[in-house]
Amino acid sequence: MASVRKKTRSNNWFACYTDANGLRRQESTGTADRKKAERIADDYERSARQKKTETQIRRVLSDICERNNGEELSAPTLDGWLTTWLGIVKNEIGSSSYDRYSHALELVREVDPALCAKHLDRVTQPEIERLRPKLHHVRSAATTNFAIKVLRMSFKRALGQGLVLVNPALGVKRVKQTDAELLAVGDGKKPFTREQVELLMSKADDEWQGMILAGIYSAGQRLGDIAKMRVGHVDLDANVARFDSEKTGRWTIIPIAPEWRADLVERIKAKAPNAPLFATAHRKFELGKGKPTDVSKSFRRLLHECGLAPKVGPRAGSVEGRRRPLPYSFHSFRHTMATWMANAGVSKTIAMNLVGPDSMAIHGIYTHIESAPKLAAILMATKDLKLPLEKLHLFDRSTGDAVGSSVAAAAA
């Protein structure tokens, strides 16, 4: 049992207690008040006997410091830890994911600065639950849920490092999306119909025609990955195109369908391997520091011209920074090809290898599929597509005269 005693030439009481190894210890309590000293001595012994973790000990000492001095012991704040955590994970994730994490945490700081100023190990689950409606008041359910997810990930790392006792974000439930936010299944995007694709092609300029073809015949690769393509990413001899996926951090190899090949032949003619395949989009992508925002806005204008999206500007129904999802964007080509492949009876394994979905990206590590069945899948999915592309010097699909017998055989 803990006790206190006085030493000669000292005004403060000393705590006498037994540590976890059964040894008697004496530590100064730093106070001349006997009652305070007795409480401190009890805290010392309780901490030692229960073999507290570093975090628990810090909390005990913080309580002692607060009782004696009216201030908590110095410890990392939530804000400070989030900055540290971002620095830790920066080299573990892609740049786009890092930006999303950063933006989510900036939103948390903006919405609840008082919570971010609290000591990390003092943040509780009820406080995270009170943060949730504050986030949803200014952002969509998807953005709110993502911000809570990032907090949960950061606390998981803190728990592993012994900085907190529990993960206060672990039990916080997701915000339910409203009907307005759920314009379509999944990420809110609808697939294009064949008629809509043909309409987009008829109204698109030359560069956007090429990017739309890339979106379709690459089985829906992402807009940013298409915008940053260079001539060297196209290998006509091997009849494949390579995409440097920003999201997954790996190269995706897609066989080139005959209709797409005709367009690529014209675009890479007399250009250096490092030259952008789509110069205007590539320039906007670079000016956007690796974000396809301006490229996406340009496609949105084309969608508006085709009656598939409202005019670029503040979105109707947007309240206090919350965005309403749009049913169509360039990402819809991903949904389009997934839908067309399913309707054409393409093997799920091949469709997953070509399109995704993202959550199944690891599937590609263990699945190795040759180009021929992947090309056949793309051709099956697009067999009824009629594109107004006379200027691209297309050829008879059944003969393949313009590209040689090897490609024709693969297309047959």
- Give the angle 340-342-344 at the CA atoms, nearest 5°: 65
Domain locations in the chain?
Answer: 3-69, 78-160, 194-411
Relative orientation angle of helices 125-138 and 95-111, to the nearest 10 degrees: 100
Reference 153, options 81, 56, 94, 96; nearest CA is 81
**Tens place of pLDDT per residue across the chain (412 aa):** 789 998 877 888 998 987 655 668 888 888 889 999 898 888 888 766 654 455 555 566 556 656 665 655 556 899 999 999 999 999 888 787 888 999 999 999 999 999 999 988 889 999 999 999 999 888 888 889 999 999 999 999 988 887 887 899 988 998 886 655 544 334 567 889 999 999 999 999 999 999 999 999 998 899 999 999 999 999 999 999 998 877 766 788 899 999 899 999 999 988 999 999 999 999 998 888 777 788 999 999 999 999 998 887 654 444 444 555 678 999 899 888 888 888 888 887 777 777 755 444 333 333 345 577 778 888 888 888 877 554 444 444 444 444 333 333 333 3
**Cα torsion 275, 278, 284, 288: sign:** negative
- As a whole number of angstroms, the distance between CA 216 and CA 385 comes to 10
Question: By three-state DSSP, how is residue 243 classified?
Answer: strand
CATH number of this structure's domain 194-411, picked from the four choices 1.10.443, 1.10.10, 1.10.240, 1.10.287: 1.10.443
Which residues make Cβ contacts (< 8 Å) with residue 359, sequence separation at least 6?
Answer: none
299, 204 contact by CB (below 8 A):
no
Which residue is associated with the tokens 């979105």? 315
CA 16/CA 12 separation, integer angstroms: 13
Range list of H helices, 230-347: 258-268, 279-287, 293-305, 332-343
Contact between 111 and 134 under an 8 Å Cβ cutoff? The reply is yes
